Structure 1
């Protein structure tokens, strides 16, 4: 963060200061995890479902924190405290003020906000890697994209930051609007309007309304970077108060930045020709797997070239990015109980669009010797899909079967009947043609044993791990990572 005094922080969050921090004291970072607090830290005490940050205020005092933001005074061995009505709101206000302070300083500074039902974190990772070659860039770790994650990331912006890549998620109307008030973007990217959080919003049109808030939150004269191939994104151009740049495959209109001649190698790394607004043709080979990542790469490339990066440089950096945030199409070889298999770990989260993309990646995988591998889809439930959730799970199971996936394992929960029912719907859909081996299990231990047995019988097995966080598949991925 831009260094500031305790009195300045209290004013920014409209809080009451208790204690004396000293006129020379300056805060230089903000944390909500007491383990990260140290000299120069602002500790924001947040009440969670299981843990109350106020219980750790005294601990941060012992670690040398500069001040704590609390909703009531806490015994803290002399640590100055700023008392506010709501610490989450105060965190947002402090982040907003930090962005204002940065914009008052010398040197160029731009915020690139991005949203979409799928692809946000991957696009964020690619874009931050590109922009980091231009100047100091701040981007969230993982998917810090909500009312707590985004402000904490915005408070990493300091006097030297050139770019802030702000991922903005939404589970209800007005959430992105709130985030854009904290970090108003110079450039806003909308990737796709899918059916993630359909149960919360009720319709795809309402989801589009929520995503469009990022365009409406642009600074005057800002640039909207929009997916030309998504019929729910295209109308957002009318909300922009500045330039509009289009990216896509050119299926509905001619975008400024597009991909042609899209193919993929045996490991499902996309290859395509990048065509920019000047008509330059640049070959690109993505370093991360997943043909669906072409659209994410196009969005990142559009912004990077907007800020002056040459297309050849964009292509080189995209090819060099082999790892992104964890559990997103991450490739590895797993060795368990005397056998091994290739793992495609895409277990961070799931919705129907990303589930299909993961299955497509599995289908595109080919063995080194040119033979067809034995493809296994280990699938968990998708959440927040509303009244159609059972039908959507059934359709994903059917989709996996129609792709020709050899074995489909749906993972439910012995403790959660809802998750178990959704997993059963997945399995029921996969069984419709009776062409694949289909199992439905109630925990990751049973799923693991099935995979090991399949791998023993099929030395060329490749396994896709895909499901919501609640399904526990990411825990299985972490177990396998330890080998």
Structure 2
């Protein structure tokens, strides 16, 4: 039996709660639907569900104990309950205690695009060099980060945590918990611009990650980003003296010398902190080359071997919903290649995905097809940002576009009518139109913000192709759909 993640005594000491001892937990869960035997179930209360209503279910499934801030109904008097003042605060207290006791080198990742992919690449690159833990899926918000920290194994050598935000001040709260030794900012883009006056505000919000770091920490920054100087100044103002950077810029700590971009991979020539390093990257696209440089820079800053890490990049698998590919075999023998980018979207990531599609070669008489859903949280500039995608669509030589949502209607009006196959108000209506239009040899990209529900299109295609190589439910990202029944829906 492995060492317990949390004993009753450790959890009581961390949270200041009260309750019976004698139990040991080997995991932490906030969702009764996915609770495992031996988990500590934390009953969070949210706008849609209250986890206290599911404590009995969690215990019946084998949870070792439950953290509660009120007595649930219909439980025996001797139920293993840890009573606290507030369950979410107790989860944060577990996170703080976990961070304080670990000897792991800790990396925090934030940015407007590429956070989850960079985090997963760090997991893959560090795992052969030591026991590595990374947050699951996109658990990067006010409950996801403390949950991930509370799950950190005691004997981890490396730990990687993703931190996201929609508003200013949110990353400041998260970095106070994570206290990263190394902080990576992938890029400053337009995601969540609806909630900020400018991109400068986004850069400042991402820079909050430095507030949780000690002066011995290292900031890893995008040197080609137009906000680099602003980010560097914020890092220095937070007391950091170790600043590393990545990009094509001549002064980058990790400098891209050249890259050959292919349909399914890239060959990269770089200089990593003054030393030449050539490597293969099993992910296509210029944006992934940049991500890879960020990863290798962070690996070096964490004290691991970047040369060994570079070898892992040749085996790197795409994150589900963020570039995963599979062949679809539809009725009538129609076979098409699906590129699943359905998890999320912003102007920069859509342009990057279209550039990847441009390098794909359809078979026979096949076509390049883009299925695009609304990019959300762009505020009043949303219509203009959508219309501006017409240049990227044209540059990528896309044959047909299927558009979903009122914002994508602006792109439809900016494109020649012959290129727009359909415009629908929602993804459920659009999905069968896409499926019916596919021809043998087509290459199909599906992308949109999470709220656009472009996964409905993926599911519709899978429903038509029961013998295909993938399954949308099995391949779905494991982050937001497993949100707590307490806080983020059922």
The partner residue of 1:476 within 448, 457, 467 is 457
The partner residue of 1:332 within 310, 326, 335 is 326
Give the whole-Å Cα distance in 2 for the aligned partners of 1:138 and 1:222. Answer: 19
Give the whole-Å Cα distance in 2 for the aligned partners of 1:171 and 1:223. Answer: 24
Give the whole-Å Cα distance in 2 for the aligned partners of 1:38 and 1:343. Answer: 33
The partner residue of 1:273 within 256, 269, 272 is 269
Higher RCO, 1 vs 2 (CA within 8 Å, ≥6 residues apart): 2
Give the whole-Å Cα distance in 1 for the aligned partners of 2:400 and 2:178. Answer: 46
Contact 2:362/2:441 (<8 A) preserved: yes
Gap change, CA 1:83 and 1:203, over 3 Å in 2: farther
- Aligned: 1:450 with 2:433: yes
Q: Structure 1 residue 28: deviation in Å?
A: 3.0
Q: Which runs of structure 2 are paired with 1:179-198 in the superposition (5 Å)? A: 179-198=174-193
Gap change, CA 1:320 and 1:8, over 3 Å in 2: closer
Gap change, CA 1:329 and 1:38, over 3 Å in 2: closer
Deviations 1:79-126 (A, max 9, x none): 2333334322221121111111224xxxxx110001000000111111
Q: Which residue does the alignment assign to 1:463? A: 444
Contact 1:408/1:430 (<8 A) preserved: no
Give the whole-Å Cα distance in 2 for the aligned partners of 1:226 and 1:372. Answer: 44
- Aligned: 1:91 with 2:91: yes
Q: Which residue does the alignment assign to 1:165? A: 160
Q: Which residue does the alignment assign to 1:436? A: 419
Give the whole-Å Cα distance in 2 for the aligned partners of 1:307 and 1:374. Answer: 44
Q: Which runs of structure 2 are paired with 1:120-159 in the superposition (5 Å)? A: 120-159=115-154
Q: Structure 1 residue 3: deviation in Å?
A: 3.7
Give the whole-Å Cα distance in 1 for the aligned partners of 2:214 and 2:247. Answer: 24
- Aligned: 1:424 with 2:426: no
Indicate the SS of the match to 1:170: coil
Matched residue count: 455
Give the whole-Å Cα distance in 2 for the aligned partners of 1:291 and 1:2. Answer: 43
Q: Structure 1 residue 319: deviation in Å?
A: 0.7
Q: Which runs of structure 2 are paired with 1:301-450 in the superposition (5 Å)? A: 301-321=296-316, 323-338=317-332, 339-367=334-362, 374-412=367-405, 421-431=406-416, 434=417, 436-450=419-433
Q: Structure 1 residue 263: deviation in Å?
A: 2.1
The partner residue of 2:61 within 60, 63, 75 is 63
Q: Which residue does the alignment assign to 1:117? A: 112
Q: Which residue does the alignment assign to 2:254? A: 257
Gap change, CA 1:333 and 1:256, over 3 Å in 2: same
Contact 1:88/1:147 (<8 A) preserved: no
Indicate the SS of the match to 1:133: helix
Q: Structure 1 residue 398: deviation in Å?
A: 4.6
Contact 1:154/1:164 (<8 A) preserved: no
Give the whole-Å Cα distance in 2 for the aligned partners of 1:333 and 1:386. Answer: 36
Gap change, CA 1:35 and 1:409, over 3 Å in 2: closer
Give the whole-Å Cα distance in 1 for the aligned partners of 2:401 and 2:460. Answer: 20
Contact 2:297/2:306 (<8 A) preserved: no
In structure 1, runs of 5+ residues without a counterpart are: 104-108, 413-420
Q: Structure 1 residue 438: deviation in Å?
A: 4.1
Q: Structure 1 residue 435: deviation in Å?
A: 5.9
Q: Which runs of structure 2 are paired with 1:199-210 in the superposition (5 Å)? A: 199-210=194-205
Indicate the SS of the match to 1:288: coil
Query: Structure 1 stretch 355-364 or stretch 228-237: which is displaced more?
Result: 228-237
- Aligned: 1:9 with 2:11: yes
Provide the alpha-carbon RMSD of the alignment: 2.2
In structure 2, runs of 5+ residues without a counterpart are: 466-490
Q: Structure 1 residue 39: deviation in Å?
A: 4.8
Contact 1:365/1:373 (<8 A) preserved: no
Indicate the SS of the match to 1:205: helix
Give the whole-Å Cα distance in 1 for the aligned partners of 2:407 and 2:436. Answer: 24
Structure 1-normalised TM-score? 0.88
Contact 2:258/2:270 (<8 A) preserved: no
Q: Which residue does the alignment assign to 1:177? A: 172
Structure 1 outlier segments of 4+, above 6 Å: none
Indicate the SS of the match to 2:49: coil
Give the whole-Å Cα distance in 1 for the aligned partners of 2:461 and 2:435. Answer: 11
